Structure 1
Amino acid sequence: MKRFTTTDAKQIDLVDYLESLGHYPDPRMSHNQEYWYLSPLPGRNENTPSFKVDRRKGLWYDHGIGKGGSIIDLCMLYHSCGIPEALTRLQDFLSFHRNPLQNLPHSGNVPLPDKEKKIQVLSTGPIVSPALITYLGQRKISLGIAREYCREVQYELNNRKYYAIGFPNNAGGYELRNAHFKGSTAPKSVSFLNNRAEEISVFEGFFDFLTYAVIQKTEITNTNILVLNSLAFLEKARLVIEQHASIYLYLDRDNAGQKCTAQLIKENSKYKDRSLLYYGYADLNEWLTRQSLSSHKQPLEKSEPEEIARAVQKRSLGLGR
């Protein structure tokens, strides 16, 4: 098989790729193959688009942080990864979405279609696909938990049909995941589960929430749940979040998530950092997937600080308060 190169990756249409991640341009500001977005980069929160894509040249620039580059640079920043992982992600995108440029020679002057392609939901139902059930197993999420909170969504993109695990948001859209795709349908928003509790648990992505449900092993009724589906929604959600007496943060342990957690704790004492429970891992689900099926009650990696290990042992990894 021919090795996938940076040249191959740069033939991918930036607008189509951003759409697959759930980001769409502002139609009022986009014209002549220049597209403006609210920045899709982690940790960026803005009300006026400052992220520009030059579709003809295959380049982007985020005026808010003064950075730009190719689709490879975008993928690396978006997923907090290096070049090898970025190339793998972009190759998967090509494999599953048949980008119209994949067989064309790379050129900054290649004309691209003006029509915006949207993810169209065709149908939803209970999760029954063997491929999706296998994927859930790889992420250590039980089918029962997944069926309680998610749907199997069949959708169309670029005139091709696909299916994914769909997690509904409060605006009627879905976060979509399968083994090779991460995206969302419009409109994109947060997902709030109201159990009429005095406390709230906040997650960055829905697989971390599903992981929480798996570890709890009982129906989640003692806490309200907010899945941000993007850190960009955090600021807008704070009015709802801060109505609660206690706020537990299960954000990613990357730079954006940790910076956000530290700032919230500094501003309001109701916020509590629960990411120490998966110290040494990118997020809660990564911690779970690294454990054996019978070791949920074992402490995390020995390399973590002793006080964290003791705290985890005390809670028996049941995420107790």
Structure 2
Amino acid sequence: MEFRKKGLPISEAKQIDMVGYLSAIGFEPDKVRGVDYWYRSPLRTENTPSFKINRTLNRWYDHGIGKGGNLVDFGILFFECTVAELLKKLDDGFSFQAPVVGLPKINGEKENWISIIGDYMLSSPALLNYLGQRRIPTDIAGIYCRDIRYEMGGRKYFGIGFRNDLGGWEIRSPYFKGSSSPKAPTTFKNSSEEVMVFEGFMDFLSFISLHKNIPFKSYDYIVLNSISFFEKQRIFLESHERVRLYLDNDKAGKNCTAYALSLDNKYTDDSTLYKYHKDLNDFLASFGRPPDML
């Protein structure tokens, strides 16, 4: 078939999980009822969700326009393209990037390395939609993040990039969490007596979003980018009069917080702000969710 030569086989495209695919391009369900996932239509502007995906059938239906079908039917409407163009883009893994299932972990093998192709101003609609889902204002994200284009395993991808102190990148998208070498924390030094400590950059951006009326230079900041860097950063942290911890509410984060509190009374646990959430960004993202989504 021509499609098999020029793009993803149409039979494979139809098998892509639609809930995962919509998440990849920046759309999350407003509510879930059994196997039915309800969205505010990606195909038009609306306030009340009327776009449904039946996950068992892996098919969608937009009640507002009276149309439905499989992922291919959706893609040609959403991207205003031909079937061949959609299949080619799905296979290329770029602009119409499909959800990546079973990506190999970065373990040092050359074929699994992340190679950065370029970084650009944040402008991708999919990435901006993802930031919106996480309740991160675009103007704040634009100061600290870039639109990263990278290659892994011979395929090209894109994501939100956050640079560390050694020039490596933390990369996030709706379907991928990873980093390029070298791995390191990211610090912002403003000669403050207080330092704010975060595990990941989404939590850092959440803090800035929640405190946007406070001058940025009021504090020093460190994004560990991995909890494993905490011990190596103690000299920097303990050079401050106060170290405020905004670590995750999982086992690793709680253990690190407990360890830090046992070291010195200059450490404080500020995770009480989001004690019912997994991390600070989850707390921020919960604002405005319908009650049944909390």
Q: Alpha-carbon deviation of 1:281?
A: 0.7
Flag the structure with larger Rg: 2
Whole-Å separation in 2 of the counterparts to 1:254 and 1:260? 10
Q: Given the alignment of the two structures, is residue 287 of structure 1 paired with residue 283 of structure 2, yes or no?
A: yes
Match of 1:162 in 2: 157
Q: Are the aligned partners of 2:111 and 2:152 in contact in 1 as well (CA < 8 Å)?
A: no
Q: Alpha-carbon deviation of 1:270?
A: 0.4
Change (3 A) 1:176 1:3: closer
Matches within 5 A, 1:42-57: none
Q: Given the alignment of the two structures, is residue 127 of structure 1 paired with residue 122 of structure 2, yes or no?
A: yes
Q: Given the alignment of the two structures, is residue 276 of structure 1 paired with residue 280 of structure 2, yes or no?
A: no
- Of the three residues 92, 100, 103, the one matched with 1:96 is 100
Letter of the 1:283 partner, please give it. Answer: D
Letter of the 2:230 partner, please give it. Answer: L
Whole-Å separation in 2 of the counterparts to 1:180 and 1:95? 6
Letter of the 1:229 partner, please give it. Answer: N
Q: Alpha-carbon deviation of 1:198?
A: 1.1
Q: Given the alignment of the two structures, is residue 242 of structure 1 paired with residue 238 of structure 2, yes or no?
A: yes
Matches within 5 A, 1:127-206: 127-206=122-201
**1:124 alignment partner, SS class:** strand
Q: Alpha-carbon deviation of 1:98?
A: 7.4
Letter of the 1:211 partner, please give it. Answer: S
Letter of the 1:282 partner, please give it. Answer: K
Whole-Å separation in 2 of the counterparts to 1:149 and 1:99? 26
Change (3 A) 1:217 1:3: closer
Change (3 A) 1:167 1:115: closer
Letter of the 2:234 partner, please give it. Answer: R
Q: Given the alignment of the two structures, is residue 254 of structure 1 paired with residue 258 of structure 2, yes or no?
A: no
Q: Alpha-carbon deviation of 1:259?
A: 1.4
Whole-Å separation in 1 of the counterparts to 2:240 and 2:227? 19
TM-score normalised to the size of structure 1? 0.57
Letter of the 1:174 partner, please give it. Answer: W
Whole-Å separation in 2 of the counterparts to 1:247 and 1:116? 40
Higher mean alpha-carbon deviation, 284-293 vs 260-269, is at 284-293
Identity of aligned residues (%): 42
Q: Alpha-carbon deviation of 1:118?
A: 1.1
Q: Are the aligned partners of 1:200 and 1:224 in contact in 2 as well (CA < 8 Å)?
A: yes
Q: Alpha-carbon deviation of 1:216?
A: 0.4
Q: Are the aligned partners of 1:249 and 1:272 in contact in 2 as well (CA < 8 Å)?
A: yes
Match of 2:209 in 1: 214
Letter of the 1:147 partner, please give it. Answer: G
Change (3 A) 1:120 1:268: same
Matches within 5 A, 1:23-42: none
Whole-Å separation in 2 of the counterparts to 1:196 and 1:181? 35
Q: Alpha-carbon deviation of 1:116?
A: 3.6
Matches within 5 A, 1:110-121: 115-121=110-116
Whole-Å separation in 1 of the counterparts to 2:138 and 2:110? 38
Q: Are the aligned partners of 2:271 and 2:280 in contact in 1 as well (CA < 8 Å)?
A: yes
Whole-Å separation in 2 of the counterparts to 1:98 and 1:234? 29
Whole-Å separation in 2 of the counterparts to 1:267 and 1:131? 43
**2:159 alignment partner, SS class:** strand
Q: Alpha-carbon deviation of 1:117?
A: 2.8
- Of the three residues 204, 228, 231, the one matched with 2:227 is 231
Q: Alpha-carbon deviation of 1:2?
A: 7.1
Letter of the 2:174 partner, please give it. Answer: A
Whole-Å separation in 1 of the counterparts to 2:181 and 2:166? 9
Letter of the 1:237 partner, please give it. Answer: Q
Q: Alpha-carbon deviation of 1:244?
A: 0.6
Whole-Å separation in 2 of the counterparts to 1:165 and 1:150? 6
Change (3 A) 1:119 1:193: same
Whole-Å separation in 2 of the counterparts to 1:225 and 1:3? 40
Q: Are the aligned partners of 2:160 and 2:173 in contact in 1 as well (CA < 8 Å)?
A: yes
Backbone CA RMSD of aligned residues: 2.3
